[in-house]
Structure 1
């Protein structure tokens, strides 16, 4: 149906003479997935056989890795450049496309300095982009080229004795400048239908390049809000903590550059979308936030360019990276939680007011008359929310007022960590292992059988299995945490700058009800001394 339109575009010089409409994929995705899996499994023994045929001596010789790598890579390129090749053959070429550069990389890192080897491999990935007409593979090659370029820059910057964060910031922003230059070249030179194939290769390659930059900028900001709680003990979180800045304002030059990038993003959007010019206050707010978050300005600039160019997937990735960076500011320890809350409340209120101002006229003109039932429903929902919240508050207050006091000794926690300046990890002395949450013998919450002495200091005896309690025994309910049952909680929150005070804690102070419900209400020091 669109073929006559394509012919007219070719006649007008907007498209090359061999341009044609791609035929949509007609194979069901399960068939594609199973075929690809079979190809990968078949490729592994095939590559092993090829390696055995070439021999160990050739692989370990000076020219061997390059010879074998180029041979395997050439075979992969020939397969991928074929027209209408079967899916199985195409998937056989993908492992070869990985093994060939891997062998070349082995030779380069063996015989050349690491920075030079990374640079040459980045250039190789760029060259493969023009040789392989597969958009999704070009995106991956662009990402590989960007990662290798970043590694080369980091090695070079490290020789200048920069700290880890400074080196990463400089490398990522240098890569961003290269992406901006490439985008300008694409717009000025390849914005012509006759060069559509070149522009397509450029687009796919530098999409992968941009994705690596965005991921690196998010990584350089550290762990983001909420993700830090679930990943705080992972190796990934530790690496992010080392790479992140220890102070949001410790690099004034980076902060200034970030603000300038944010203002440049606003200018580009205002130039292309004049309606946004009346909301310049939003640009100033984002520029101020970018000063405090040195990676945010670059992300905003990438977001604005992606929006202007209609690259919606890249824009979505930039938006996600921006949200991550803003959330990471929660862990900047040179700001108190109160000041951070006030900052975000002020920025959010101003941006919300601007959004309300923009949407209010349109909403007023199209808003339908509100049904009385809707008003009743909203009122009932709000009442239910308040009722449930107040019931929970009443239960906790009743437990504190009427629960029996109990003190449980603290055991050393490894590590006894302080998170975001207001959190202490707790570990209570229980001389035996508690069951796993996944233990099917405990479909509901288990109870811990304890005794208390004359000072109300409790000592754990055993896990409750339904046997009768002795006269001096009582039970306390366990709570699930990180795959195990813990004694009510494993954390104690306190005001910032009070870490030294609470580090003297030796006992946890609980209130316990006869049914086993318990609540941690405080910590005590040596000799039950209040803290």
Structure 2
């Protein structure tokens, strides 16, 4: 008797495994053979299913019971094939499209004769039933994912009022998370016995798919993440995400509180299960702050902690990726200034780095050699350097803020640009209508900047007149300082930066919006559309 068989016999005798447990025979066929066989099976199944559909078309379309009868028959055949222990790979792959067709026929009948929410619920229960009937772990994961998607759809349809799509999606996704938590509790309490190992395995696969859909939905609900929007800016996927995502981090105080409480629960579970992490519990406080501003983050962190504790490393990796996506999506919360967002992440990153440094610092058994003392003059030099950097940065910020607050508004018409270079990544090329060539103004290397004379109408729309050569200005004229850019002189800037995924929005721009001071200093603060409408 082999070691595996002996071990299996002892586990059954001890009650750790059911009496019919057996060791699975590993797949010995090369993956190219499996792939080609599956492809052949699907190609053979498609015309067969089309023929069956044509033969039974009238029965399905004109008979109330038709979709259910045919669907159940096809499902039963697929289940019998998939329950076989040693079926050929070709036959197994034939059963997969049959399973899909049978489920689709039942879905057609249910949506035809029942309210949509009830139909989704019935199909979700069907997916759960198929999980117990089909002993294929990868299929059980897919069935769990389908059941979660259908359950979430049923909740959304039931709540649908059209007022707040994000709130409805948030509630539906957290309801899915709550059901997953209940399932984990049931598994821990009722399926811990080794005699129920087969049921526990089916449970595990099904709710793995369930959690994957929940995590994907939570990431999706947060909107497009940092640096991804540029590559998906014109896709339907990006449009849907931007439509659903919250436009403000303060969408609901209840959502923020719930996210923080779920984060606290995640930290508590890790604190109780892994005592080695207790000295670094301060990291939970940082995550609590982030979760307050990111309503989907708390649920993901809770799923991550439970997966880590249970040793579900692949699911934990997926949860970590979803958490990173949600944190990156905070970049697009436009009701926060970029400086405030940078400050939040700088503080959070610095504190987390300090905690990580403390955790990874070697615990030396011998006293470390005394550190070399720093010369007092060096200390003064370091302090003065840091103060100078802060002073220069803050003076620049103050100047810009003062210009925005006290500068006169001015709008300058945009000239047509090559459509092939209109949108480049996350900025738009600007070209203002000026009736003369600015490169001929003067040497670009000249430290003194030239000025352009402009005239403003009643709508504050400016039109360029001439280059300033020191002559007196008319009552309705003013000057704007030109800036060197790419070997030429431009009005303030030749680009407008925006978040990824908003190319279509800013492509409607017709005017640049400026603030201008009496000395000619100007700042580009926005873009306007036709009739100076905001974008």
- Could you tell me the TM-score, scaled by structure 2's length? 0.72
Find the aligned partners of 2:67 and 2:214 in 1 and give their Cα distance: 30
Match of 2:511 in 1: 504
Task: Answer whether contact 2:78 2:95 (CA < 8 A) is retained.
Answer: yes
Q: Mark the CA change 1:338 to 1:72 in structure 2 (over 3 Å): closer, same or farther.
A: same
Any idea what SS the aligned residue of 2:496 has?
Answer: strand
Find the aligned partners of 2:240 and 2:494 in 1 and give their Cα distance: 24
Find the aligned partners of 1:342 and 1:506 in 2 and give their Cα distance: 27
Task: Answer whether contact 1:408 1:457 (CA < 8 A) is retained.
Answer: no
Any idea what SS the aligned residue of 1:227 has?
Answer: coil
Match of 1:17 in 2: 19
Question: 1:458-490 CA deviation, whole Å, 9 max, x = no partner?
Answer: 9xxxxxxxxxxxxxxxxxxx9xxxxxxxxxx99
Find the aligned partners of 2:184 and 2:97 in 1 and give their Cα distance: 31
- Map residues 346-495 of structure 1 onto 2, 5 A cutoff: 346-361=347-362, 410-411=415-416, 425-426=428-429, 454-456=436-438, 491-493=495-497
- Map residues 82-161 of structure 1 onto 2, 5 A cutoff: 82-159=84-161
Find the aligned partners of 1:190 and 1:417 in 2 and give their Cα distance: 60
Match of 1:298 in 2: 299
Any idea what SS the aligned residue of 1:83 has?
Answer: coil
Unmatched runs of 5 consecutive residues or more in structure 1: 367-406, 430-451, 459-477, 479-488, 508-520, 527-531
Query: 1:428: how far off?
Result: 6.1
Match of 1:206 in 2: 207
Q: Mark the CA change 1:503 to 1:277 in structure 2 (over 3 Å): closer, same or farther.
A: farther
Q: Mark the CA change 1:110 to 1:491 in structure 2 (over 3 Å): closer, same or farther.
A: farther
Q: Mark the CA change 1:428 to 1:45 in structure 2 (over 3 Å): closer, same or farther.
A: farther
Any idea what SS the aligned residue of 1:45 has?
Answer: helix
Find the aligned partners of 1:147 and 1:413 in 2 and give their Cα distance: 44
Question: 1:163-199 CA deviation, whole Å, 9 max, x = no partner?
Answer: 1000000000011000000000001110111000000
Query: 1:455: how far off?
Result: 3.5
Question: 1:337-358 CA deviation, whole Å, 9 max, x = no partner?
Answer: 1111111111011001100101
Match of 1:262 in 2: 263
Find the aligned partners of 1:411 and 1:101 in 2 and give their Cα distance: 54
- Map residues 176-325 of structure 1 onto 2, 5 A cutoff: 176-325=177-326
Q: Mark the CA change 1:158 to 1:417 in structure 2 (over 3 Å): closer, same or farther.
A: farther
Any idea what SS the aligned residue of 2:356 has?
Answer: helix
Task: Select the structure with the greater relative contact order (CA < 8 A; seq sep ≥ 6).
Answer: 2
- Map residues 157-168 of structure 1 onto 2, 5 A cutoff: 157-159=159-161, 162-168=163-169
Find the aligned partners of 1:192 and 1:103 in 2 and give their Cα distance: 38
Q: Mark the CA change 1:454 to 1:178 in structure 2 (over 3 Å): closer, same or farther.
A: closer
Q: Mark the CA change 1:274 to 1:506 in structure 2 (over 3 Å): closer, same or farther.
A: closer
Find the aligned partners of 1:428 and 1:290 in 2 and give their Cα distance: 42
Find the aligned partners of 1:413 and 1:177 in 2 and give their Cα distance: 52
Q: Mark the CA change 1:455 to 1:329 in structure 2 (over 3 Å): closer, same or farther.
A: same
Query: 1:162: how far off?
Result: 4.8
- Map residues 324-343 of structure 1 onto 2, 5 A cutoff: 324-343=325-344
Match of 1:475 in 2: none
Match of 1:378 in 2: none
Any idea what SS the aligned residue of 2:335 has?
Answer: coil
Q: Mark the CA change 1:453 to 1:410 in structure 2 (over 3 Å): closer, same or farther.
A: closer
Task: Answer whether contact 2:131 2:206 (CA < 8 A) is retained.
Answer: yes
Q: Does 1:77 align with 2:79?
A: yes
Find the aligned partners of 1:418 and 1:245 in 2 and give their Cα distance: 25
Across the aligned residues of Structure 1 and Structure 2, the Cα RMSD in angstroms comes to 3.4
Any idea what SS the aligned residue of 1:492 has?
Answer: strand
Query: 1:58: how far off?
Result: 3.8
- Map residues 29-68 of structure 1 onto 2, 5 A cutoff: 29-68=31-70
Task: Answer whether contact 1:410 1:506 (CA < 8 A) is retained.
Answer: no
- Map residues 506-525 of structure 1 onto 2, 5 A cutoff: none
Unmatched runs of 5 consecutive residues or more in structure 2: 367-411, 441-485, 487-492, 500-505, 515-522, 529-535
The count of residues paired between Structure 1 and Structure 2 equals: 413
Find the aligned partners of 2:498 and 2:59 in 1 and give their Cα distance: 64
Find the aligned partners of 2:165 and 2:130 in 1 and give their Cα distance: 31
Q: Decide which structure has the larger Cα Rg and report it.
A: 2
Query: 1:38: how far off?
Result: 0.4
Find the aligned partners of 1:134 and 1:272 in 2 and give their Cα distance: 32
- Could you tell me the TM-score, scaled by structure 1's length? 0.72
Query: 1:505: how far off?
Result: 3.0
Find the aligned partners of 1:301 and 1:188 in 2 and give their Cα distance: 20
Task: Answer whether contact 2:414 2:512 (CA < 8 A) is retained.
Answer: no
Find the aligned partners of 2:277 and 2:46 in 1 and give their Cα distance: 55
Task: Answer whether contact 1:413 1:427 (CA < 8 A) is retained.
Answer: no
Find the aligned partners of 1:186 and 1:346 in 2 and give their Cα distance: 40
Any idea what SS the aligned residue of 1:19 has?
Answer: coil
Find the aligned partners of 2:424 and 2:116 in 1 and give their Cα distance: 37
Any idea what SS the aligned residue of 1:425 has?
Answer: strand
Find the aligned partners of 1:490 and 1:120 in 2 and give their Cα distance: 58
Q: Mark the CA change 1:411 to 1:417 in structure 2 (over 3 Å): closer, same or farther.
A: closer
